[in-house]
Amino acid sequence: MGSHQMLDAHILAVFAVTTVGLLLIPGPGMLFILARGIEHGRSAAFVSVLGFQAGDALHILAATIGLSAVLVASPVAFFSVKVAGAAYLAFLGITTILRKPEVQGIDSTLRTSMQRIFVQGAVVNALNPKTALFFLAFLPQFVDPDRGEVAGQILVLGGTFMFLAVICEGAFAMFSGSLANWLRSSEKFINWQRFVVGSIYIGLAGIALLSGIAIT
């Protein structure tokens, strides 16, 4: 049975509107993208968005084959993944703050490859168990077992979510890059840039560890 038969236009339309509404709510993910834009510029911010979606793809696949349910059922596994994600964010923050000032600035992206930025975004999102729980709770709300294979419907919904996320978060990435260009005109900000960006990462680590908010 094709995907067009599994999900009708009405369900996809409602899902799309709901998804865009969720994506437009400012949250930790937006802060991460903003930090990337301030630190490395517009291109790096957009690459971070793509990295985030790679992490989302892993969570969607996990929800499809049932791994997310296993994570929910195991408090130890959930806590371990949560701590690992928070530790990684804290590591990014500390290394950013400790970095020499001369490494920061307009050309800092040249010293940090786009591949590395992509991987960091993917790792941050993949190590967030709350994102896994989000997809596990959100996607099934739009699934109708009577219309066909459930796994196929989840994959279609997940793909739609990722497509819309690239558009919405990508627009914010462009904004963050423009903001970075404006901020870099201030010599004072250049001197404090690594502390601002590092503090955002460390703050996100605290959010990931102590709150119920998913970084999506």
Residue 91 lies inside a defined structural domain of this protein = yes
Per DSSP, 106 falls in state: T
Structure tokens at 84: 């690992």
Residue 60 lies in a domain: yes
Percent of the chain with pLDDT over 90: 19
215 found inside a domain: no
Closest-CA residue to 55 (of 126, 127, 156): 126
Q: Is residue 56 in some structural domain? A: yes
Between residues 145 and 216, the one the model is more confident about: 145
Domain-located, residue 121:
yes
Q: Global pTM?
A: 0.71
Q: Is residue 135 part of a domain?
A: yes
Q: Residue 199: inside a domain, yes or no?
A: yes
Asked if the structure places residue 9 within a domain, the reply is: no
- What span, in angstroms and rounded, lies between the C-alpha atoms of 67 and 150? 15
**Tell me, what CATH number does 48's domain have?**
1.20.1250
Environment class of 160 (CB within 10 Å of its CB; exposed 0-12, middle 13-18, buried 19+):
middle
Number of domains in the chain: 1
- Collapsed DSSP state (helix, strand, coil) of residue 89: helix
Q: pLDDT, tens digit, for every residue of 118-164?
A: 999 999 888 887 788 788 778 888 877 777 787 888 899 999 999 99
HSE-up of residue 190 (Cα within 13 Å, Cβ side): 14
**Domain carrying residue 34:** 29-210
